[in-house]
Amino acid sequence: MNYDRLREEMVREQLIPRGIEDERVLVSFRKVKREVFVPAELREDAYGDFPLSIGEGQTISQPYMVALMTQCLELTGNEKVLEIGTGSGYQTAILAELSKQVYSIERIRTLARRAEEILEKLNYTNIKILVGDGTLGWKEFSPYDRILVTAAAEEIPSPAMDQLKEKGIMVIPVGSIYSQDLKVIKKEKGRPKVKTVERCVFVPLIGKYGWDESVRGE
Ligand code: SAH
């Protein structure tokens, strides 16, 4: 498999024609090797235009969705970013390429550990991962310039909103467990200014300010 070629095709065929135009975002997608974040048996599909299973009932998001969420964060390189839902760690690597420091929370320990191992091997030094309930945010390092939630919320978790800086941006899928609107929220004078950018389908955000575990039959 020529993954370098597949990566370039992903950028040209899936991202650029759909409106991903932030040069820094495109550079990061050309750089980060998605195949290393995907389970070995699915590696050949790493650059497919769809989400993939990463075990524990969770998924690595479709490349376009990762790119769109990243573009909506308007990163310049100086930001402190909180990611809720580490999953495979692929999105985490993209954020680490484009910002100063990334804090990422994952509720499933095995996924968090696996992502951590891969990211360490890739020599990222600006990522910290926490195993826990991301709907509570990560108070210790707050406030954040940007917050990205990569699982579906019924409502914006209030601790995350509290931990977002004034003029900060949060990107979060909000809706039912079956489908959501990708929302971009800017905090202006303490209040959320909300814009919807796309329809999407994410796995549920489970936690104190999210869905109950029973939504997944766990
Ligand atoms: N960006 C990731 C998306 C993974 S799917 C990727 O592309 O690989 C969303 C992840 O959110 C899952 O791994 C799920 O376990 C996690 N998650 C769900 N609820 C959470 C919570 N309250 N706190 C932290 N992680 C959560």
pLDDT tens sequence for the chain (218 residues): 899 999 999 999 999 999 999 999 999 999 999 999 999 999 999 999 999 999 999 999 999 999 999 999 999 999 999 999 999 999 999 999 999 999 999 999 999 999 999 999 999 999 999 999 999 999 999 999 999 999 999 999 999 999 999 999 999 999 999 999 999 999 999 999 999 999 999 999 999 999 998 886 54
Q: Is residue 217 part of a domain?
A: no
Question: Is 61 a catalytic site residue?
Answer: yes
The single residue of 61, 88, 99, 104 carrying the catalytic annotation is 61
pLDDT attached to residue 214: 85
Contact 50, 24 (CB under 8 A): no
The number of folded domains in the chain is 1
Q: Residue 142: which domain range? A: 3-212
Q: What does the alpha-carbon distance between residue 192 and residue 188 come to, in Å, rounded to a whole number?
A: 6
Q: Is residue 37 part of a domain?
A: yes
pLDDT attached to residue 138: 98
Which pairs with CB-CB distance under 8 Å and at least 24 residues apart come from 7-14?
Answer: 7/33, 7/34, 7/47, 9/47, 10/34, 10/47, 10/49, 10/63, 13/49, 14/49, 14/63, 14/64
Our CA angle for 80, 51, 134, nearest 5°, is 35
- Please return the burial class of 23, using the count of CB atoms within 10 Å of its CB with bins 0-12, 13-18 and 19+: exposed
Among protein residues, the one with the nearest Cα to ligand 1's atom 6 is 60
Q: Is residue 201 part of a domain?
A: yes
Q: Is residue 113 part of a domain?
A: yes
How far is the CA of 155 from the CAs of 6, 38, 51, 134, 205, in angstroms? 37, 29, 23, 14, 10
Ligand 1 contacts (CB < 6 A) are 58-61, 66, 84-85, 87-88, 90-91, 105-108, 111, 133-135, 150-151, 203, 205-207, 210
Q: Is residue 218 part of a domain?
A: no
pLDDT attached to residue 180: 98
Whole-number Å distance, alpha carbon 110 to ligand 1 midpoint, is 12
Q: Is residue 77 part of a domain?
A: yes
The CATH code of the domain that includes 144 is 3.40.50.150
Determine what percent of the chain falls in helix, strand and coil, rounding each to the nearest 5. 40, 30, 35
Q: Is residue 82 part of a domain?
A: yes
Q: Is residue 164 part of a domain?
A: yes
Beta bridge partners of 84: 105, 149
What backbone phi and psi angles, to 5 degrees, belong to 80?
Answer: -100, 120
